[in-house]
Structure 1
């Protein structure tokens, strides 16, 4: 019996069509029934959602019918008083508030998170029931004239991958077999109001009529047109035709003047992918290693990773996790190819956009924003007992498994003393001591560590700090060494110090050793100098890198690795391009000045900070002045 007739709460089911190749966010509301579209082709079912391939179905037609296969499955296999359809990235807003729309009629929303769900009434069952019950059908619209089209017909005609003759075939079939819809078809296609995306909720009797109408026409159209040689987009022609004929059906109902209906806004989720936990890829003998990168830094990260793989023990599996924002498909493919010969290496690219969205994260000096992502490691790697973090500007010269097997029980992390920082604190850079005392307030500044190589006890971190504690602490960019300063503040007293050989800093710009490390406490300076003889990891920390100055300290190790990498030519091209740009931008400027203008752009926060660190008259300023006269082109 119909629940509405019986006076009970009506059964409303809005079926959400999901892709099988993307795990998307869902709404925790029984009104929404999440269904995989074309599930017959999805044997893994990673999303664990219901498929459209059970009972009576046309799941196999997904390449041509798109979300219509979900609608068909609902029609043949589900019972409800109201049926609806929407998509994993498009939902109808049930909010009483009016939101700004783009020219395509979309209300843009970044993520389908708790804020969005509340904002658009997706989880407000009462609001949804009240809206649906008071109407026979609801739908969304867009005025095509806002995007430059004269009519709905012209809008279809101008789509590059669609053929207007196919739509005309469907219209002829409609007018022949359903003549009562002819006037509605003429009015709709000559008009400017488009009812897009097959999004609606309607009463059962209307849904039955709609499905009988559209699948009959599509069946006849499918036989009348040939899509066998169409491209991937054009293969979905029947789905596009159904989208247009939905408008004819709605126009017909409205012209009868016997139904109640309401136009709702359409919410477009820009990033519908679900934020998943990182799950260990290997079950046994695994070493998780985290790096961070931007797209343009991937070639240099690859050198770090390739050097690691060459020397890593074959007794272990290496679970490589790259925290990033927006690495391109091309760079991902190249990096995977670079390590393809290693059967015990797996790479996961983990986009942290959603986590850092809205946070005030800033780079500083030569430190990019991507470096700050390491502060997310305890949160995103909570399924690992401990993880190894490595900067992306290193060359690994030893077996990394030895480092991972260091015992850090009862510690937050293990790291190497930063002899450079200690030398700056001891007079190499007076501003460092001032900020250390006033802002960092470290109990023992000589226990400051470099964060380029870290062995992190994720269990201890998550026990000691809230999930976003570290990343929120770094907001605003009020530290010289950014996330490194944050980690030193948070971890003091809970750090196990490693052999210096696991993080040997190169002699950046030829002044780090003579002007900084030489001023460090004698025992730290001695350990640093000893480590240079047999480094296990060389770290190109600072503004001078081998790909900026090919002859910098320890550069021979980098280039030995780079010459064997598939990224070698990309690195050379980038160097040549940067050099040409610097020459063209300032033919009469010195090499040192051009490098400075690239690393420290005029007017930038980092350039102003450097002026404070190296004021006129200081030995640092005088050194750079000598460099200016020495390196000219």
Structure 2
């Protein structure tokens, strides 16, 4: 089994010294620093869109230029890495063993105090998510957005996953087909740097939707996360919120939205 255990980076960190990863520099077209690893501005690429597409520019580059060489694709970030069930570094042997019993692996799900739809509307631009949902309904009507977004508070974050090559290919077709259409319909010219990362945020929801819709044998794994103070945290199952959605028939008021945004931001730190 030929495994691409990708690690996405945009700047130097110690992880670049670990040659067990397939290192990719994202946003390379906009960066004067050459990390001396694979760059996402070679061949067929969308590297210059990195401020809006985040790690997806690295995924796109790999998908278009490297995928035929691999049987399995895994995505890590330089500060977020998959671990095995013993909370140790995920090895190639671990990955091979997982695919003997499972179809895909992802981080443990995040449970929000609101639905997936409401969470996006509170934290980002509500109108953009309406556009995304409309495009999904038209182009991919088989996807159960009502169940998995409107009436569900569980999702997989960080665009992190492990998939067999054929499944990865289909997932990328799905995600980029939708995002390219959303890009035509939204105006982000006045967005803050954070909100301009819109397509990275949307892809988290889309990949989570894709996994839940298309796979039955899903393996959840812990991840390690290095914060800005270089402290390492282990994220496993989030038991802070019960596994059901708090559904509201009408949009929340601005005051409630502000309060929930504060709560959810503090929970994510």
User: What's the counterpart of residue 240 of structure 1?
Assistant: 201
Is structure 2 residue 25 aligned with structure 1 residue 36?
A: yes
Q: Following superposition, which runs of at least 4 residues in structure 1 exceed 4 angstroms of deviation?
A: none
Distance in 2 between residues matched to 1:69 and 1:196, nearest whole Å:
17
Which secondary structure does the structure 2 equivalent of 1:25 belong to?
helix
Distance in 1 between residues matched to 2:17 and 2:163, nearest whole Å:
20
C-alpha RMSD of matched pairs (Å): 2.1
Is structure 2 residue 116 aligned with structure 1 residue 127?
A: no
User: What's the counterpart of residue 25 of structure 1?
Assistant: 15
User: What's the counterpart of residue 160 of structure 2?
Assistant: 199
For structure 1, the 5+ residue unaligned runs are 1-9, 98-118, 274-352, 355-633
Distance in 2 between residues matched to 1:132 and 1:267, nearest whole Å:
21
Is structure 2 residue 106 aligned with structure 1 residue 139?
A: yes
Kindly report which structure 2 residues correspond to 1:4-403, keeping only aligned pairs within 5 A, or say none: 10-20=1-11, 22-26=12-16, 28-30=18-20, 32-45=21-34, 47-78=35-66, 79-94=69-84, 96-97=85-86, 120-122=88-90, 124-145=91-112, 149-159=113-123, 162-181=124-143, 183=144, 185-189=145-149, 190-254=151-215, 257=216, 260-270=217-227
Higher RCO structure (Cα 8 Å, ≥6 apart): 2
Q: Provide TM-score, normalisation by structure 1.
A: 0.35
Kindly state the Cα deviation for residue 24 of structure 1 after the two structures are TM-superposed. 4.3
For structure 2, the 5+ residue unaligned runs are 233-269
Kindly report which structure 2 residues correspond to 1:534-613, keeping only aligned pairs within 5 A, or say none: none
Q: Deviations over 1:252-290 (max 9, x none)?
A: 113xx4xx32111122122597xxxxxxxxxxxxxxxxx
Work out whether residues 15 and 35 of structure 1, in 8 Å CA contact, stay in contact via their aligned partners in 2: yes
Distance in 2 between residues matched to 1:134 and 1:251, nearest whole Å:
17
Greater gyration radius: 1
User: What's the counterpart of residue 398 of structure 1?
Assistant: none
Work out whether residues 82 and 89 of structure 2, in 8 Å CA contact, stay in contact via their aligned partners in 1: no
Work out whether residues 105 and 218 of structure 2, in 8 Å CA contact, stay in contact via their aligned partners in 1: yes
Aligned pair count reads 229
User: What's the counterpart of residue 255 of structure 2?
Assistant: none
